[in-house]
Structure 1
Amino acid sequence: MRSLSDTLERLARLKSLGWEPTDAPSHLEALEGFGSNPGALAAKVYVPSLLPKHPALVVVLHGCTQTASGYDHGTGWSKLAERHGFVVLLPEQVRANNGNLCFNWFVPGDTRRGQGEAHSIRQMIDAVVSRHGIDTSRIYVSGLSAGGGMANAMLAAYPEVFAGGAIIAGLPYGVAATVPEAFDRMRGHGLPAPSALQSRLKAASTHQGPWPIISVWQGTQDNTVAAANAQAIIDQWRGVHEVGSRPDLEEKVDGQSKTVWKDARGKQVIEYNSIAGMGHGTPIDTALGDENVAPYLLDVGISSTLHSAKSWGLLRQGVEPLQAKTGGAKRPSVSSQEAKEPEGIQQIIESALRMAGLMR
């Protein structure tokens, strides 16, 4: 067994990196009475203190083992919403549906239009739109991992609802229907050809366009969801946006590779952000002051939250981040082992609490 001093030292180090053993106190409100809720999901919402007329809405979907408030604390979505005046909706998985709190991104009954979890999220959106006067032309969705897969499912099943989406370490729509198939696809095995991927997207609804713009985020060292899935998501959406396999623009953003596809009118419709050396998780930048390290929330010096909001036109001019990127010392990143193994961290904490006599 670890010594108490060693255990407490590790706890202090994790805390200095922004990790907390439980969700930070949340300022999110529970969303109640939003419909029949066939997927039996929960939900939270954040409404800024100064709500403009006809604000935008961002739907944020957490990853496995995460909660709505914990993911929000890490990604900083509600803090950004407070300063820039948009609403955030955070659907939340419950253990009765999935023991690991994963959205069921691969289950046909949960991802088809009008069914299961996807329909519950659609009902949540309707409720928030009605209660807060949302501009229905400015609704967006972002999600990590299983939440990324569900974000893609929402974009596929309800493309008329969304103006854009950010899929982080996610998966293509309609590529798995069982647990073994889901794990194979996560590893990059058995992914369909681009033509089949595009057919599944078009079959998800009767929508004829315009289509949501798509942003894909992926770490090059992700051993949970293989990078082949990022390329498959791009291939899936190239068909409806009528763009070729070769990108129109390649550039560096915050030191990372960004690849862009433009439609015939010159509009950026698909972008791919490849994060060098990053494992499985959402890329954050703690130097901004809004974002916090936790398992699967990785400080790599680029914020998918900020860049997504910027690309969607949600940022007010003249409103700066909480902390300028040039100010203050940057927090060190959580190691890949700590980021990928929250269960091990939990065991360390429980051991320390038991040794301190605070837990049996």
Structure 2
Amino acid sequence: MDAGEMKPGEAAKSAKGSGGSEAAGDEAAAAGLEKVGDFGSNPGALSMYRYAPDGLPAKSPVVLVLHGCTQDAATYFEGAGWQQAADAGGFSVVAPQQEQANNVNKCFNWFQSGDVGREKGEALSVKQMVDRTVADLDADPSRVFITGLSAGGAMTASMLAAYPDVFKGGAVVAGLPHGCAASVAEAFTCMNPGVSKSAAEWGDLVREAAPDHSGARPAVSVWHGTGDTTVVPKNADESVKQWTDALGADQEADATEELQGGTTRSDYQNGDGAVVVRDYSVDGMPHGTPVKPDEGCGKAGEHFLDTICSTKHITADWGLGG
């Protein structure tokens, strides 16, 4: 079973484990990540890894990157090119890691309400990693961003919904709308063939995740390959519906542009003319994260697909380009 299959089924375990394996720690260290312990109560029993470029100044941004199923923090950090991006853009990277004691396929538990709600489970553990990094590095709490692949993308959507006061922007890669599933069976249906709701229904799920929030919400980009049979492209369409509604944009793109690798980018503006949702559709690409190794952007491999440098575009959208 691999990240492409993203099977949550036998995955979810009721008891939360603790800590990662020694081998996983070795891989993370080789990738340039350091393990950070004691970052809070950690109710989700996740592991925290972090990278800070040498000489990183105070008040620098923070980016969280969430791996896909069967992957780990180091695999995603390295495969998607986040160290190079951090060095060029001047920001730290936090890489949460799921453990097999929580989910046998190492998927973030995006389909369990106890792990995606505000102040609950894995979501709270990720939030505590942000708090620890802001304190340790004197980072800028107003410039915290999040992205993830597959199950990590679905968890990214839930983090953006549950903590709109924490994140300034997010990018959902081959993921799903927040609130699509609340059980294993529903998770499979969401992944393929997908679930349809109205834009308002999807938007309500976002608003209900942080009912007391009345301020600005983070801008969101959605990345998906049209050849994805694991998390079908319908999920990108439904995600766009969700986030345009939550962010005050309509369902018609205000601008469309053709990019590298058969990628079409569609922009959606709110009533003030700000682009709040970007939809990146990569023609024919299967399940995975788009990379471009010959441009110094990640490494091609399983679920790292040589098409376009998504990391470069994501950081540029966040104003973090090198």
TM-score under structure 2 normalisation? 0.89
Q: Equivalent residue for 1:340?
A: none
Write the letter of the residue equivalent to 2:133: V
Asked if residue 234 in structure 1 is aligned to residue 207 in structure 2, the reply is no
Partner secondary structure for residue 153 of structure 2: helix
Q: In 1, are the aligned partners of 2:176 and 2:239 still within 8 Å (CA)?
A: yes
Larger Rg: 1
Partner secondary structure for residue 94 of structure 2: strand
CA distances 1:118-174 after superposition (whole Å, capped 9, x unpaired): 000001110001110111111100000000000000000001111100000101111
Which runs of 5 or more residues in structure 1 are unaligned? 1-21, 317-360
Q: Equivalent residue for 1:118?
A: 123
Q: Equivalent residue for 1:42?
A: 47
Give the C-alpha shift of residue 194 in structure 1: 2.0
Write the letter of the residue equivalent to 1:51: L
Distance 1:23-1:294 versus aligned 2 partners, 3 A rule:
farther
Q: Equivalent residue for 2:159?
A: 154
Write the letter of the residue equivalent to 1:252: E
Task: From 3, 12, 36, give the equivalent of 1:31.
Answer: 36
Give the C-alpha shift of residue 23 in structure 1: 5.0
Q: How does 1:166-177 map to 2 (within 5 A)?
A: 166-177=171-182
CA distance in 1, matches of 2:297, 2:154: 25
Q: Equivalent residue for 1:77?
A: 82
Q: Equivalent residue for 2:226?
A: 220
Q: In 1, are the aligned partners of 2:204 and 2:246 still within 8 Å (CA)?
A: no
Partner secondary structure for residue 59 of structure 1: strand
Q: Please, what is the CA RMSD of the aligned residues?
A: 1.3
Task: From 211, 214, 218, give the equivalent of 2:217.
Answer: 211
CA distance in 1, matches of 2:88, 2:200: 42
CA distance in 2, matches of 1:159, 1:89: 18
Aligned length, in residue pairs: 294
Give the C-alpha shift of residue 79 in structure 1: 1.8
Q: Equivalent residue for 1:101?
A: 106
CA distance in 2, matches of 1:131, 1:217: 31
Partner secondary structure for residue 257 of structure 1: strand
Q: In 1, are the aligned partners of 2:47 and 2:98 still within 8 Å (CA)?
A: yes
TM-score under structure 1 normalisation? 0.80
Write the letter of the residue equivalent to 2:279: Y
Which runs of 5 or more residues in structure 2 are unaligned? 1-25
Q: How does 1:44-59 map to 2 (within 5 A)?
A: 44-59=49-64
Distance 1:166-1:189 versus aligned 2 partners, 3 A rule:
closer
Quick one: percent identity of the two aligned structures? Answer: 43
Q: In 1, are the aligned partners of 2:47 and 2:96 still within 8 Å (CA)?
A: yes
Asked if residue 163 in structure 1 is aligned to residue 173 in structure 2, the reply is no
